[in-house]
Structure 1
Amino acid sequence: MDTQELGFCGPGLMGGPMIRHLLRAGHAVRVWNRTPEKAEALVPDGARVAATPRELALNADVVLLCVADAAAVEAVVFGANGLLDEHADQASRPRMRLIVDHSSIPPDVTRALAARAAALGVGWIDAPVSGGVGGAQAGTLAIMAGGVDAHVESVAPILAAYASRVTHMGAVGAGQTTKLCNQAIVTATVAAIAEAVSLARRSGIDAAKLPEALAGGWADSTLLRTFVPRMTQDGLDPIGALKTFQKDVDTVAAAAQQTGTPMPVSGTVQQLLRLGAAMGLAQADLSGFIDVLQTARSMPQ
């Protein structure tokens, strides 16, 4: 694989491992993060720290993003000292010609941001990921991409550093729509697992044994094996915040409304997540569905 000089914005729980895989593959990577300490933590691995996103755009052909939400993507790209800051010194034109956005944001916002970038001569690939922190660490993420064929083909060797599969789903925005389909399935499944754990506990059986008991059956899944331990054990490192699920399911609901798609299961999950937020659980681990249900146990019948 040809090595390249890359920029990367957002070395968080997902982005940090992804950057380390890029470095191990031989790429030179400049890193920026709103919290500088998160970027500096990658210096021992070989990364260079940029003072601003603009610095990344000046020094790399391809810049990858993995940030929290649509507002963060817009700020990083078009804000002050952003990748495409329209008020920056135009004497220093960006070297960057392609943005790869691993963030999960609404498809219509993606298309609007991509159009703004295209007007400045920069291509856009929406490339949200699935596989969680474990997949990022193992380098086995699944990437669903939207964009021009040639653009997706050109970055596939780069993404192979941390993805076992890159599927081109169509034009810009198609990757984000596919991620919404993914999140509709994931959030509904995790909610169902929390209900099963709660039912097992209230029935007096050991809920921690559910993955063993259901192994090989239709209910067996990566999510079952991941989340039952997180719902039955204490002290495990978090793999994300429940507010991330809420953001994604709210986006699913908006897309369902725009397309006239009935999604009653996602609607119920959305209300469960809103209840969790009202209970102060927005920052809880992604397994926090069980905390909502456990609290309900103590409520009057």
Structure 2
Amino acid sequence: MTDATNRPRIGFIGIGIMGEAMVRRLLDLGFPVKVWNLEPERLQTVLPYGAISAESPAEVAAASDIVMLCVLHMQAVERCILGEDGVAAAGPGPSLVIDFSTADPEGTRQVAAALKEATGAGWIDAPVSGGPQLARTGQMTVMAGGSEEDFVKAKSIIEKMAGNLTLMGPVGAGQTTKILNQAIVGTGYVVMAEALMLAEAAGIDAARLPQCLAGGHADSSLLQRLYPQMQQRAFEPPSSYARQLLKDLKAVSAFAHGLGLDLKVIEQGVQRYKDYVALGHEMSDSAAIVKLYEHEAAARGKA
């Protein structure tokens, strides 16, 4: 079933920083969107723009052709899909679930299989990268896992939300790819913070570093987008949370250990974010990890 404009009815579960940006994008594109969030006050970020609230994930599913999720972790995915008032409880409900969350590959496969058995709905795990600004403008990167058939169903909508969409394999492959993404991102944040501290301590014009290194081997989106944010200490409002990146880095570490690997740079990245979060910065911007280095430098100065 579709609405009068022949657009599929979208249900969206999880209105965090990224979920808000994606829902706003869908509304801009003219999709009808029904939404639910565990903390209902977050719905006020999308209801004024045309989203319709629901009382439960099951209510979202019952009113939707496609359900999308962007929630905190695997446990939240399980709760929203298989809980007493979850998507599976809606009966036939949607034909497809697209999960933009960062979650566990094996857990994803299990939840997708349980939903398929209960309702027949297909599954695309589609974790994202690029942050809320790119989500808002439809330019985020999406790494997908699922069957070719389900991917064809999802592609026409996801392409309106993403500048880069790639099917990496069957269900769970998107989440595996996101683990690799977070290994690069998480350790990259730490490297950018250390490069900034080194540049400032050396007395060069630290603000010119991205311009100076553009086009060389050190160039990257981290250098051009993240480093200036760190250098300017522009961390409000947060575009991502330190607790979330720490969770993701722990998942990278666990995944590596499960494959029999001991990846020391990743382990150091985990420890750096553990140290930062331990200072009370769970809800600070992930890029504000540079504050950990400032804290340690100040502590050394007092010693």
Query: Do the structures match in fold with TM over 0.5?
Result: yes
Question: Which residue of structure 1 lines up, in the alignment, with residue 219 of structure 2?
Answer: 220
Preserved contact between residue 146 and residue 172 of structure 1 (Cα < 8 Å): yes
Cα distance in 1 for partners of 2:281, 2:44 equals: 30
CA–CA separation in structure 1 for the residues paired with 2:19 and 2:48 = 16
Tell me by how many angstroms 1:206 deviates: 2.9
Shift of 1:131: 0.9
Question: What do residues 216-269 of structure 1 show as CA deviations (whole Å, max 9, x unaligned)?
Answer: 222122111222222222454211111111111111111111112342211110
Corresponding position of 2:96: 98
C-alpha contact 2:21 2:133 (8 A) present in aligned 1: no
- Partner of 1:229: helix, strand, or coil? helix
Q: Does 1:230 align with 2:229?
A: yes
Q: Is the 8 A contact 1:100 1:125 kept in 2?
A: yes
What is the CA–CA distance in structure 2 between the aligned matches of 1:20 and 1:66, rounded to whole Å? 14
Aligned positions, number: 295
Q: Which blocks of at least 5 consecutive residues in structure 1 are unaligned?
A: 86-91
Residue in structure 2 matched with residue 62 of structure 1 by the alignment:
66
Whichever residue aligns with residue 113 of structure 1, its letter is V
Aligned partner of 1:89 in structure 2 is: none
Tell me, which stretches of 5 or more residues in structure 2 are unaligned? none
Residue 66 of structure 1 deviates from its aligned partner by 0.4
Question: Contact 1:40–1:49 at 8 Å: present in 2 too?
Answer: no
Coordinate RMSD, CA, aligned: 1.8
SS in 2 for 1:95: coil
Q: After TM superposition, list the pairs within 5 Å mapping 1:18-29 onto structure 2.
A: 18-29=22-33
Other-structure match for 1:139: 138
Deviations 1:35-74 (A, max 9, x none): 2232233233222111111111111121000011111111
Equivalents in 1 of 2:233, 2:198: separation in Å?
19
Superposed CA offset, 1:110-153 (max 9, x none): 11211211221222211001111121122101111111110011
TM-score by length of 1: 0.92
Q: Which of 210-219 and 147-156 deviates more? A: 210-219
Residue 14 (structure 2) pairs with residue 15 (structure 1):
no
Which deviates the most, 13-22 or 92-101?
Answer: 92-101
**Distance across 2 between alignment mates of 1:23 and 1:284:** 28
Q: Conserved in 1, the CA contact under 8 Å of 2:123 and 2:146? A: yes
Aligned equivalents of 2:164 and 2:225: distance in 1? 21
Q: Which moved more, 1:123-132 or 1:21-30?
A: 21-30
Alpha-carbon deviation of 1:2?
5.6
Equivalent-residue separation in structure 2 for 1:93 and 1:180 (angstroms):
32
Q: TM-score by structure 2 length?
A: 0.92
